[in-house]
Structure 1
């Protein structure tokens, strides 16, 4: 196997597929210094100020003279301006219909959605009710009657650090409001108890509203102050959960078309292989789901920064392209307001894995989207109005972004990682896709699919089919590695926007 990979004939760099020592010869060039696996090697001389390309796209500008055989990274490569890209919609191409219809085994809900799990949720309005929600969940799981409910997957306390000391007319309040309502309505919950303190900004009556939060009516709510304090609320909560759990236990899995699935796509702990193996393979799986009428969500707006033209080129309409650019401009203003830069996104772990600028990281991240037309753009935690490939605005911080995707209705999560991210996202099962075989072998207990074999000859299309089948199996009830490990109790992280007052 070659020790390097050239991704595009116009590229100025090759990717090391192993740790290479100084003096090694690759692509007819002798290395002037050692280069770690996943990192970039200069193939052509670049003068200070010249553009550098990977994937056939600009990933930055040389900050000093770069000779062939040099290691290209943050010491000699910096940010560059965005290219104009292609016209909005120029690359939008409808995908062909599937060869044959497929189904999964899911829980059919009263509102027409279909869940992949059957949990009872205890959702909190504010940090002050978080401990009581956990106390209720722990008390329920100790009850003998709960052990007899064979169709209920568990009790999930949804706790967070916000809900008060916020502007009740502001963007942060509205974002949290959408997030909590999205979880209450989520099809992976067979019933939900909403617990508030009573005096917080995020009031229970406001969340409940005048309409039905859940069409199945398997929903209760209470506040600690009105119920009589901690012990009284725990006792009352256990009684309410028992009634709801007995109703939820009547649900059984039944076949449903794949059009009822919604997949949230994430990458975290990325490395130099993410955009070569797992991300494009997930993109191929996303295309297969879209062909079956499903919805797939790409998020993490700061991590498409610099590659947004690849998405607007696939926009279903000029209005969709404008919606995406409006979110990009919002982020530019948001970062500037807080003295930040959009190029500060690659983490230390990303950089150790070979990623240098946000442009480079973004080009690899966009590969998760496949080739389907961009059907719509929605706000954080906003349910997509149309099926197909959709972009949801979110930060690049994985727990926050996944929280928004689940609030938007995602019943599956696919998470690519090169460094080895560990997390889970109850009530939604999440599959971990390893970008390289070395990390997969080291962390096999956390990884669901190894995409490192793409470097050994497995095609992106074959790996996409493998991921597609793994997603259907998980949707039908097969536990993911993160579920088997018990993850999901700490990963509900709503996006906090605005001042904490």
Structure 2
């Protein structure tokens, strides 16, 4: 691999794959460096005037704030995001996709549920409707130690899903509807054999309302602390109920299932410049394989596709799909303005240290997680995903909130790319970590599942690594533990999106 890489034919910058020093001359680019360039950072390939657009990936990533000479470092000191017209050209880049026949689709070992969906894990859940029942739920779950659970070998564990909301909000309206969608999605998630809904009793987020939204009863149990008679009685009753749930769940065994039953949530966090060069495109290649095998991938984090959304609208399978995505972008512009913010108030400090300068640049890398197939649908946060193939779910860019919405929407596996490092878990859904660079993979080997830095190192192609990621998706769906699962992570990361005022 070259020391500095130009990614697009029309690019005004190249990316340093290793640190280089001022005064060096790069023969392959016929370029004399005027600045020290850290690994992952950008160097100007041409002289730029103040106000000029600057391109990477053949797309605008920002505008120069001052004159820039060929060979200079381009970063936050001389490049900013600004508004510019995007050609949405809805549906112009769509193309037919031939799915594999059923008998040719990849197979994994999953848990068949009564509604026909397939789980990749077999948990018993305790889902608290309100913060007031969180401590009791944790006490119930704490009873089920590894020694106790050893009597139920087909069960992956007892998960207490707690949070800081559920009350102090209007009973009706968009914030309440959104929250109930999240809880209904978790209560019926295929990775839960059954769920105990545990409330205080007087909260806004009422147990009975949630049960009615699920349309199910045989896998959902309910309890409220006020009706049970207080903490001690509720813990005792909860433990008894969970024992019955475990007996039921232990009767489930893994059976062969087509990869068409996989719903994979796509996440990136702690991104760096290498994320958009290696890890995200490799995950995109795996997504293309998943879609070809009949499966589903959920792209999200709306503020982190901002400035690159036109690449998705061009792939919209139907005009209304592209229009719905544009509507979500407009909603976010208005939402952030109402709170005296800006949708381009991104990247974060760690992203910038890793070489990302503007949200436009970050978004172009983030979108590549979605591969190259058509965009088949756009969903609101935590809406149940029914369409197969690549879909988009509206969400904030904050990873726990976004992933919570994806799981509520039905994701039975998460793929999470990172360039700076992450320890994210997401019970009941396993979370695979994909490191964008080899240095990170070695430094945090205890937390990383796949090294995508081999692309930057020149050892593997994007396509070959995409095939390896797809194979790891199948293995994880069949029960192979991710690093976050080995650590037991995933209960604290449940973070529903909170809209509206806290009353």
TM-score, length of structure 2 as denominator length: 0.97
- How far apart are 1:140 and its partner, in Å? 2.8
The equivalent of 2:226 in structure 1 is 225
In the alignment, what sits opposite 2:491? 489
The 1:169–1:459 alpha-carbon spacing in structure 2 relative to 1, beyond 3 Å, is: same
- Native 8 Å contact 1:278 1:435 kept in 2: yes
Shift of 1:80: 2.5
2:108 alignment partner, SS class: strand
Question: Do the aligned partners of 1:60 and 1:357 also contact (CA within 8 Å) in 2?
Answer: yes
SS at match of 1:53: strand
Runs of 4+ in structure 1 over 6 Å off:
none
2:424 match: 423
RMSD: 1.2
Distance 2:138 2:373 in 1: 41
Structure 2, unpaired ranges of 5+? none
1:478 deviation in Å? 0.5
Contact 2:405 2:496 in 1 (8 A): yes
Contact conserved, 1:124 with 1:196, CA < 8 A, in 2?
A: yes
Segment drifting more, 18-27 vs 57-66: 18-27
Q: Where in structure 1 are there 5+ consecutive unaligned residues?
A: none
SS of alignment partner, residue 431 of structure 1: strand
Larger CA deviation: 87-96 vs 147-156: 87-96
Kindly report which structure 2 residues correspond to 1:238-387, keeping only aligned pairs within 5 A, or say none. 238-387=239-388
Tell me what 2:114 maps to: 110
Q: Is this contact kept in 2: 1:141–1:155, CA < 8 A?
A: no
Q: 1:453 to 1:146 in 2, by over 3 A?
A: closer
Q: Report what 1:208 is aligned to.
A: 211
State how far apart, in whole Å, the 1-side matches of 2:47 and 2:214 are: 65
Partner of 2:15: 15
Structure 1 contact 277–460 (Cα < 8 Å) conserved? yes
For these two proteins, the number of residue pairs brought into alignment is 498
- Map Cα deviations across residues 403-458 of structure 1 (whole Å, 9 max, x no partner): 00000000000000000111111110110001011111111111111111112141
SS for the counterpart of 2:390 is strand
CA deviation string 1:333-388 (max 9, x = no partner):
10000011111121000000010111100000000010110000001111112111
Quick check: 1:108–1:115 contact (8 Å CA) kept in 2?
A: yes
Alpha-carbon distance, 1:94 to partner: 2.3
> Shift in Å at residue 84 of structure 1?
2.5
Which digits, 9 at most, give the CA deviation of each residue in 1:294-315, with x for residues without a partner? 1100000000001110000000
Distance 2:166 2:149 in 1: 30
**Cα distance in 2 between the residues matched to 1:33 and 1:256:** 55
Could you tell me how far apart the structure 2 residues matched to 1:77 and 1:470 are? 38
Could you say what secondary structure the match of 2:277 adopts?
coil
Give CA-to-partner distance per residue, 1:206-236, whole Å, 9 cap, x none: 111276335xx12210100110101100000
Q: Is the 8 A contact 2:105 2:294 kept in 1?
A: no
**2-structure distance, mates of 1:77, 1:57:** 14
- Alignment TM-score, normalising by the size of structure 1: 0.98
Q: Answer with 88-97 or 421-430: which moved more.
A: 88-97
Comparing 164-173 with 304-313, greater Cα deviation is found at 164-173
Aligned partner of residue 200 in structure 1, secondary structure: coil
Partner of 1:435: 436
> Tell me, what secondary structure is at the counterpart of 1:241?
helix
- Give SS of 1:344's match: coil
CA distance in 1, matches of 2:144, 2:440: 38
Q: Which moved more, 1:32-41 or 1:86-95?
A: 86-95
> Which stretch has the larger CA shift, 240-249 or 84-93?
84-93
